[in-house]
Structure 1
Amino acid sequence: MATDKEWQDRVKGLLKAELKRRNLSYRDLAEKLAGIGVSDTELNIKNKISRGGFTAVFLVQCLEAIGATTLRLD
């Protein structure tokens, strides 16, 4: 059974992988989030992703902002 830390690491890795596939930085993500009406700084985004304890809402906002239509769980 996975621990909370292991789940957080997995979610963090999924989002970072999606950013890497698209060659996007945290600054790029902040700009794309602003484009869909989500105001957040590059530093806040970096900290949220580093912790891995962000909300599902934040995850979906990020995926929407970067144009992801699917999420690979492997």
Structure 2
Amino acid sequence: MPTQNEWESKAANLLKAELKRKGVTYAQLVEKLGAIGVSEKEVNVANKLSRGKFSAAFMLQCLSAVGSLQLYLD
């Protein structure tokens, strides 16, 4: 059974992979989040993704902001 840290790492890696697939940088993500009413700073986004500690709501906001309609878990 995966540990909490392993789950957090998997979530961060899934989100980072989706950003790469879409060709979106952290700076661009911040702009896209702002366009949907979510206020974040680039440094905060980078910290969240490097630590892997963010809410499911933040992940959904990011996926929505970059236009991801599907997420593959494998």
Report the Cα distance in structure 2 between the residues aligned to 1:20 and 1:72, rounded to whole angstroms: 14
Q: RMSD of the alignment, in Å?
A: 0.5
Q: What are the ranges of 5 or more consecutive residues in structure 2 without an aligned counterpart?
A: none
2:65 is aligned to 65
Report the Cα distance in structure 1 between the residues aligned to 2:73 and 2:15, rounded to whole angstroms: 10
What do residues 34-71 of structure 1 show as CA deviations (whole Å, max 9, x unaligned)? Answer: 00000000000000111101000000000000000111
Q: What are the ranges of 5 or more consecutive residues in structure 1 without an aligned counterpart?
A: none
Report the Cα distance in structure 1 between the residues aligned to 2:51 and 2:3, rounded to whole angstroms: 15
> Normalized against structure 1, the TM-score is what?
0.98
Poorly superposed stretches of 4+, deviation over 3 Å: none
> Normalized against structure 2, the TM-score is what?
0.98
Q: Does 1:42 align with 2:45?
A: no
Report the Cα distance in structure 2 between the residues aligned to 1:69 and 1:22, rounded to whole angstroms: 12
Q: Does 1:52 align with 2:43?
A: no
Q: Does 1:13 align with 2:13?
A: yes
